[in-house]
Structure 1
Amino acid sequence: MHWIGEAAVTALILIGAFFLLVGSFGLAKLPDLMRRLHGPSKSTTLGIGSLLIASMLYFAIAGAHISFHEMLITIFLFLTAPVTAHMLAKAHILRSHKDRSSLPPTNRPSGWATLDVHK
């Protein structure tokens, strides 16, 4: 294996491990849901994406078959993690505000929820 490829795989693994460590620490130590949500949705997603790309690069350089499974998993994670974080944050906002008039306006007819049952 070429030394540039090894250095790239090593760098991606170290970057991924760093982001996973920071994301896990944030998930464990931050005080409330809205702050704790950033750990797994931002840095942990970047960390696991970096590790998956390192795996894909390693097997491409090592001469084994080129596998696109890692790329598909990375794309799926990058698409679903922000959507999940948005849905969790929106649910937290709706459950924590008993008085819906204190929420900022959305300028949409449906309000803060797609199905606004409390009207």
Structure 2
Amino acid sequence: MIQGMSVLLILAGLVFFAAGSAGMLRFPDVYTRLHALTKADNLGLGLVVLGLILQAETAAFVIKLLIIWALVLVAGAAACHLVAQRAWSRFGAKEER
């Protein structure tokens, strides 16, 4: 039962990763691409981590997975902000004129 739930969570996470990657390739501008990529990847990683937590044997492994997930969330948000800020300073100001 737990093994099946774990596999379903991991597969759902992979579907979200694929959707985020497809959104990054298909959406027209940098802001919608960033939105699709960060949202889908964060949810996808969360589902994969939950699936792996169900298979964890020790509490230390669970804590490591949660720390990795938190670090990826923070790094992804910071990188998305930097890319969006750079795009705005480079292209956004020209569009308003």
Q: CA deviation at 1:77?
A: 1.6
Counterpart of 2:66 in structure 1 is: 71
- TM-score under structure 1 length normalisation: 0.67
Q: CA deviation at 1:87?
A: 2.0
State how far apart, in whole Å, the 1-side matches of 2:47 and 2:71 are: 14
Task: Say whether 1:13 aligns with 2:28.
Answer: no
User: Greater relative contact order (Cα 8 A, min sep 6): structure 1 or 2?
Assistant: 2
State how far apart, in whole Å, the 1-side matches of 2:36 and 2:45 are: 12
Bigger-Rg structure (1/2): 1
Task: Detail structure 1 runs of 4+ shifted over 6 Å in the superposition.
Answer: none
AA aligned to 2:88 is I
Task: Report the 3-state secondary structure (helix = DSSP H, G, I; strand = E; otherwise coil) of the residue aligned with 1:51.
Answer: helix
Counterpart of 2:89 in structure 1 is: 94
Counterpart of 1:44 in structure 2 is: 41
Task: Report the 3-state secondary structure (helix = DSSP H, G, I; strand = E; otherwise coil) of the residue aligned with 1:31.
Answer: coil
AA aligned to 1:90 is Q
AA aligned to 1:71 is L
Q: Which runs of 5+ in 1 are unaligned?
A: 104-119
Q: How many residues align?
A: 94
Q: Which runs of 5+ in 2 are unaligned?
A: none
Task: Say whether 1:84 aligns with 2:79.
Answer: yes
Counterpart of 1:113 in structure 2 is: none
Q: Percent identity?
A: 24
AA aligned to 2:5 is A
